[in-house]
Amino acid sequence: MNFELTEEQLAVRDAARDFAQNVLKEGVIERDNEQRFPKEEIKQLGELGFLGMMVDPKYGGGGMDTISYALAMEEISKVDASVSVCMSVNNSLVCWGLETYGTEEQKQKYLIPLASGEKIGAFCLSEPEAGSDATSQRTTAIDKGDHYLLNGTKNWITNGSSASTYIVIAQTDVEKGHRGINAFIVERGMEGFEVGAKEDKLGIRGSDTHTLLFTDVKVPKENRIGEDGFGFKFAMKTLSGGRIGIASQALGIAAGAMDLAVAYSKERKAFGKEINQHQAIAFKIADMATAVETARLMVHKAAWEKDQGLNYDQSGAMAKLYASSVAMEQTVEAVQIHGGYGFVKEYHVERLMRDAKITQIYEGTSEIQKIVISRGVLNS
């Protein structure tokens, strides 16, 4: 086993770290307070090549491996998870899904501007009554010959009002169950497509999360991804890779909180010495470092398996389950180490604690990850 990162991977990590610390950090508290989408920062992220990292260069992407993507996600997430979730959706769900399963025409029309960062995308699976149970799609797409007629509502959509290209999962044949589900490319501005209310969220408040409404939207036949009935499999395959992105985000949140806690423990004094000289704090930091490093190894293993063309369903689910738990637990500990200062926004850790919770929920709840993992173990 070789745990050493390549020069290219280190360069990607360092570039992401530099952008996070020198560009994102300055306004992150204000963006969180105002629930302001980081439009200019996302534009710069695209210009640096971070929105289509794994896409083939012939489609405008960076041609990088999944480990490089995980490293960049970790660094961005240490500072601003609202930016990293936009980055994750565009890379893991939209670009990867289009490149892997789209037609050449779809790639030329949609993938190139998405991979270059000229436009951003959204992935639309969740509904008011279909979250973890993705087979219960109420959004319908009726075959009308040369087009589909799309009707329904999607909830909790990241990049909801900022995206130009939306991948929408819809039921085309109720009788066939999940084999009657398809995935469609919907463009912003199509008649009958409306962006609904923005969600007022606990965390990742700078991200653009909306309800989307579709009323008799005409979607051309050529905008269907894959063969008829491929939509559910498309969604599951895409989300499997997406878990590596969210695991990397959770890892970054935890690592960012640990960095802040370590720095604070060297500055704050109590009972005549720095608080990290007290065993109670030193042991907390030891536990944090061990948990963060374990999560990092799990994330990198899942990313490596994806790069090797191996099945990464189980390793990705394990990485997301564990890293999201670490993010939640260790951000709470970071607040505790900061004491009263941890409870105010100026010190960043309270925001990281709020941001951490969503990593246990979106792109498959922790309970869903346990289903994936247990099936893999019991059926092996």
- The packing angle between helices 7-19 and 66-77, to 10°, is 20
Helix 66-77 and helix 231-267, axial crossing angle in degrees, nearest 10? 50
pLDDT above 90 for 133: no
Q: Is residue 160's pLDDT more than 90?
A: yes
* pLDDT at residue 380, as a whole number: 79
Give the per-residue pLDDT at 83: 98
pLDDT tens-digit readout, 184-196: 999 999 999 999 9
Higher pLDDT, 239 or 380: 239
Q: Which residue type, as a one-letter code, is found at position 47? A: E
Parallel, antiparallel, or unpaired for β 209-220 and 147-158? antiparallel
CA angle (235 as vertex; 375, 226 as ends), nearest 5 = 125
DSSP string of 135-150, one letter each residue: T----EEEE-SSEEEE
- Using the 8-state DSSP alphabet, how is residue 188 labeled? T
Residue 355 pLDDT grade (very low, low, confident, very high; cuts 50, 70, 90) = very high
pLDDT tens digit sequence for 101-119? 999 999 999 999 999 999 9
pLDDT bin (cut points 50, 70, 90) of residue 204 is very high
Work out the number of other CB atoms within 10 angstroms of the CB of residue 143.
14
**Strand-strand pairing, 269-270 and 209-220:** unpaired
User: Considering only CA atoms, which of 43, 38, 35, 9 is closest in space to residue 25?
Assistant: 38
19 vs 41: CA distance, rounded Å? 9
Please work out, in degrees rounded to the nearest 5, the angle formed at the alpha carbon of residue 64 by the alpha carbons of 58 and 65: 130
pLDDT per position as a tens digit, 26-49: 999 999 999 999 999 999 999 999
Q: Which residues are catalytic?
A: 363
Res 131: pLDDT: 84
Verdict on whether the full-model pTM lies above 0.95: yes
Burial (CB count within 10 angstroms: exposed 0-12, middle 13-18, buried 19+), residue 2: exposed
Domains and CATH numbers, the chain: 7-120 (1.10.540.10), 122-231 (2.40.110.10), 240-379 (1.20.140.10)
Structure tokens at 242: 């997406």
Mean pLDDT of 54-72: 98
